[in-house]
Each structure stands twice: as C-alpha cells, then as structure tokens.
Structure 1
Amino acid sequence: MTEDEALTLISGLLRTENPIVLREFEFGWLARERLSEQERASGMHVGQGSYIIDRSGVITAHTSLPPRRVMEEYAQARREGRIKGRQVWPEAGPTA
C-alpha cells in the first residue's frame, strides 16, 4: 500500500472536509484529522482519536493518546503478531 492509497482509504472512511495528516512508521501510517481553529476552540480536539492504516490495508481506531505513543504501542503489538485497536476496515462480518 502506498501513502496515497492510505490517504484515499482513510479519507473515504472519515468523510471529512478537514485535511487528514498521515505520519508514516514501520507498519503503516497514523492518521489524524486536522481540526480548524474554530473546531479546536469549541473543544472538539479533546479526546480526538487516531487511526492506524496498516500496510496490509487493515484500519484500526485508537485512543487520544499522543500519536508517537499510539504508533509505538501498535508497532509492539505487530511485532508480537497482534493487531492493536478496534478494527474499522474492512468491517468484520457477522459471526455464527
């Protein structure tokens, strides 16, 4: 997956008019919406989460921890063979 493909995928999921900032790291990209000054002034940044777009195409939602920490925790989980965060893409199908 390329950075452009990652941006296209997350943009389609978030459906926002705001720019999305990607930070590349070992296993993919951390994505976070860049809020406007008005949105920040109204408090929308409080609790704003991040998304990880894994190079495999899986996207997971994460808490509002600092981006570097989210990336470090995700990378550690991947090194252990796990995916960290709540998977939002592709959506999990119904279970029997």
Structure 2
Amino acid sequence: MAEDGALDAAAVWSRLEGDPEESANLAIDVDGVWFTCYFFDIEEIEFTFDPSDVIDATSFAPVRAFVTWLGRATGREVIVTMEGTDHAAMPALIRWRP
C-alpha cells in the first residue's frame, strides 16, 4: 500500500518479485461463488473457483456475471479452462471477448 493507504499495484508486484516467499491473493464472492486470484504473473490474471459450487443454471449465473464483469472491466478476453498449468493448450469452457 502507498503511504496514504491507497492500493499501489507496482508496490505489490515489487514486493512479490523481490521475495520468493511472499504471496498475495484476492478473493471475491459473487452470489455464493468464490473467485480467488493468485498473483503468479503480471501479464495474466488467473482466478480459480470450486466447480462443485456450480450445479445448475442458477448457480452458473454468478460465473457468467463475473466473467462478463472482468472482461468489461479490463477490456480483455476472459477464458475459463479446467485447472492446469498450460492454459493456452486447454480448450475454453467459457470465452468472453470484448
């Protein structure tokens, strides 16, 4: 955080890059589905959620809302894949494009 208490992304990334033991995450609850972001790479935002929270059309609505909001807020494509490390090689389960 900046001295005035404001969030400062550059300071967070500097701290994460400077100490391999440091970590940070952000969790957002959207109508009962938790989306958690672990800051692995400054070029890619990666969120996880528990697929067992999504069992029908009603519980899928928060996923759709979050994906749409994230895409509009960032102006970037949002892709939902299965969990793994090589996201580029995985088929998209959901894709939102600006």
Question: TM-score, normalized by length of structure 1?
Answer: 0.33
Question: TM-score, normalized by length of structure 2?
Answer: 0.32
Question: RCO (CA 8 Å, sep 6+): is it higher in 1 or 2?
Answer: 1
Q: Which has the higher strand share?
A: 1
